[in-house]
């Protein structure tokens, strides 16, 4: 059962929407880059940004049932929230909703990560105080290069020190922001441009008197960093962070490194 976390229009109490019987969940990588070829046959490439694109699908939601009618009303409100440009969090399994900002630079060859203050979104998932042994986690830097690797947690020395199955592969630069999260938990997602053009997260199945939920989402890394610096979580963030020096040009939506 997937869980959606959101605060309507970015203010007020955090809401939860559980979506059972999810029929599809896919994760792809979106990359923005510029590339040129040299006369000698070389390739020069500049990567401007990388983020994950997440698609969640749930078929046949029928308004003829009490549960279906309630879910559709909530989804229509959620749709308005997303079309207005606000974010949501998504956990494919809410019992694994773990996300930590690392408190030290991941070092090449290390077999552990230092998980800062633990689960940054503990208020969303109070029982998820540490990473889970046997589960796969994403380790990546928040930058246009986005060094990224996947690891399985093999043991927990304490909630702040997950031990991983393989050596950290990359030599990460010092002074950056680094994420360690469950591979199917995204605290800050916004509606993808393709979905905004479609204008709806619900597809009418016609004469069947049923609807399909199709959430086409993408990460917002700037808002993710705002949540780290401001101590505020994803959909609950407010506009007062805009204009601060976060390592990004927030208004231009470009990285400054």
Provide the residue ranges of all domains of the chain, joining segments of one domain with +: 1-33+45-93+185-257, 98-183
Q: Two tokens at 122?
A: 């503990």
CATH of region 98-183: 2.40.30
Q: Two tokens at 176?
A: 């950056």
Mean pLDDT of 150-174: 94
pLDDT surpasses 80 at 31: no
Q: Which residue has the tokens 């440009």?
A: 85
Which pLDDT score, from 0 to 100, does residue 106 have?
95
Q: What are the pLDDT digits (tens) for 190-214?
A: 999 888 988 888 887 766 688 889 9
pLDDT surpasses 80 at 130: yes
* Mean model confidence pLDDT for the chain: 83
Cα-Cα-Cα-Cα torsion 107, 95, 89, 212, nearest 10 degrees, comes to 130
The bridge status of strand 162-164 relative to strand 148-156 is antiparallel
Q: Quick check: pTM over 0.85?
A: no
Which pLDDT score, from 0 to 100, does residue 107 have?
94
pLDDT surpasses 90 at 42: no
pLDDT surpasses 50 at 256: no
pLDDT surpasses 90 at 236: no
Which pLDDT score, from 0 to 100, does residue 48 have?
66
More confident residue, 179 or 49: 179
> Can you list the positions of beta strands (E) in the chain?
2-6, 15-19, 24-37, 43-61, 88-91, 99-101, 136-141, 148-156, 162-164, 178-182, 185-191, 202-204, 211-219, 248-249, 254-255
pLDDT surpasses 70 at 255: no
Q: Which residue has the tokens 């203050």?
A: 117
pLDDT surpasses 70 at 184: yes
Q: What are the pLDDT digits (tens) for 59-77?
A: 888 888 888 889 999 999 9
Residue 141, CB half-sphere, CA atoms under 13 Å: how many? 22
């Amino acid at each position: 059962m997937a869980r959606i976390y959101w605060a309507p229009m970015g203010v007020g109490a955090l809401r939860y929407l559980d979506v059972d019987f999810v029929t599809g969940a896919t994760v792809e990588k979106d990359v923005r880059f510029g590339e040129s070829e040299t006369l000698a046959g070389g390739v020069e490439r500049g990567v401007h940004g990388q983020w994950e694109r997440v698609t969640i699908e749930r078929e046949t939601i029928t308004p003829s049932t009490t549960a279906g009618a309630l879910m559709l009303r909530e989804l229509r409100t959620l749709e308005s929230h997303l079309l207005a440009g606000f974010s949501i969090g998504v956990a494919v399994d809410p019992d694994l909703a773990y996300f930590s900002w690392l408190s030290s630079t991941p070092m090449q060859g290390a077999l552990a990560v230092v998980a800062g203050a633990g689960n940054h979104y503990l208020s969303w998932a109070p029982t998820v105080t540490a990473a889970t042994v046997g589960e796969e986690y994403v380790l990546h830097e928040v930058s246009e290069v986005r060094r990224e690797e996947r690891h399985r947690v093999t043991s927990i020395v304490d909630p702040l020190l997950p031990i991983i199955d393989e050596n950290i592969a990359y030599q990460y630069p010092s002074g950056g922001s680094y994420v360690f999260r469950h591979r199917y938990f995204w605290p800050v997602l916004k509606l993808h441009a393709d979905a905004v053009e479609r204008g709806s997260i619900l597809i009418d199945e016609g004469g069947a008197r049923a609807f399909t939920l199709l959430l086409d989402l993408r990460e917002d890394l700037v808002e993710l960093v705002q949540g780290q610096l401001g101590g505020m979580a994803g959909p609950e963030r407010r506009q007062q962070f805009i204009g601060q020096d976060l390592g990004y040009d927030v208004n231009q939506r470009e990285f400054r490194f």
